[in-house]
Amino acid sequence: MTQSGFSGRRALLGGITGAMAMLGRGAVHAQAFPARAVRVIVPFPPGGAADVLTRLVSEPLSRELGQTIVIDNRVGSGGRIGTEAAARAIPDGYTILMGSQATNSINPELYRDNSFDPARDLVPVGLLGGVGSVIYVRHSLDVRSLQELLERARQRPQALTYGSAGIGSGSHLTTALLEAMAPIQMTHVPYRGTPAATTDIIAGRIDVMSDPITTALPHVLAGAVRALAVSTPQRHPALPDLPTVAEAGVPGYEAVSYYGFFAPSAVPAEPLARLRSACAKIIADPVIRARLEEQGIVRLGLNPEEFAAYVAADRQRWGRVIRDANITAN
């Protein structure tokens, strides 16, 4: 073979090698996560606590991941429709759930016809934190303290009405726990989500409500309702003069919900690690933490494995409340 032939072959081989290298780099790039928008399913209506918190962290999460965050409100069946949609999603990391005490602790104990189990079908990504509730009454009700409310309820069992986001919702169970521990009896009026219940108590159509601090604060600070106590172990910084339920006459009472991201349990290790890393960074950011605290979120400081254990213990606790109060949804 002539020298020119060898040169031509070397040039050809060099071109093929270069092309393969470029293809290899392209393949690696194509597999990098995330390569497109990430969808966050919120299984509750816009304006509720889960929706408010998701929108609060969506922009920093988008910056951290380098992709758009698409919020998908999948409403219905007390959060089960959206939760199941997340559990059944393609496990590629591009669909995650804004989960909560309602979706991952309460619903599995409340509904007997579940076709999925959050403990089996979802895996924790990141815990935003915990949030307590404010127990408040309609402004026109002549009650100025939790103790007065309890006395009124004892004098006239079932006369007072309390609203909730639905049967078995967090707002239902926190009040059911109060009824059991006080003990008192009121009449439950379930709604399809927190916003509808809030509208009616502000209008004076129901008497009492337990509302997550995240959504309760604007109404309390505006004077639209009268706050009586918070469900957390300590007083809330935004409402320093408001006692805890335990301080106000029901020793040992505590109700704190959690909010955090979950992914389908079969999601591969690389996307899961990327999602967890991004969540951990935004949760640790002082600016984001301050914004979450403004919404009533208290940092619980749990890694994903500890978060899973926390959810399991919380599920057991509310399962007992559901059984003791004989609460059924189907």
DSSP state of 79: G
Identify whether 34 is preceded by a cis peptide bond (ω within 30 of 0).
yes
Higher pLDDT residue, 287 or 5?
287
Burial class of residue 31, CB neighbours in 10 A (0-12, 13-18, 19+): exposed
Q: Identify the band that residue 1 occupies on the pLDDT scale cut at 50, 70 and 90.
A: low
Res. 16: pLDDT tops 50: no
Cα gap 36→90, rounded to integer Å: 14
* Residue pair 97/43 in contact by the 8 Å Cβ criterion: yes
Whether 267 contacts 93, CB under 8 Å: yes
Residue with tokens 């600016």: 287
- 216 close to 227: Cβ distance less than 8 angstroms: yes
The predicted-structure confidence for 203-230, as pLDDT tens digits, reads as follows 999 999 999 898 899 999 999 999 999 9
What's residue 86's pLDDT? 98
How many CA within 13 A on the CB side of residue 256? 21
Cβ 61 vs Cβ 277: under 8 Å: no
Residue 30's contacts (CB-CB under 8 Å, 6 or more residues apart) are: none
Which tokens go with 211? 């509302």
pLDDT (tens digit, 9 = 90+) per residue, 35-45? 999 999 999 98
Q: What is the pLDDT of residue 330?
A: 63
Q: What is the pLDDT of residue 24?
A: 46
What residue spans of the chain are helical by DSSP H?
3-31, 49-65, 80-87, 101, 107-110, 118-121, 146-155, 170-181, 194-202, 213-221, 269-284, 286-294, 304-324
DSSP assignment of 188-254: EEE-SSHHHHHHHHHTTSSSEEEEEHHHHHHHHHTTSEEEEEESSSS--TTSTTSPBTTTTT-TT--
Span 305-310, average pLDDT: 96
pLDDT bucket at 247, cuts 50 / 70 / 90: very high
Residue 66 has pLDDT above 50, yes or no: yes
pLDDT score of 20 more than 50: no
Ramachandran class of 326: left when φ > 0, alpha when ψ lies in -120 to 50, beta otherwise: left
Lowest mean pLDDT segment, chosen from 30-34, 110-114, 156-160, 291-295: 30-34
pTM over 0.75: yes
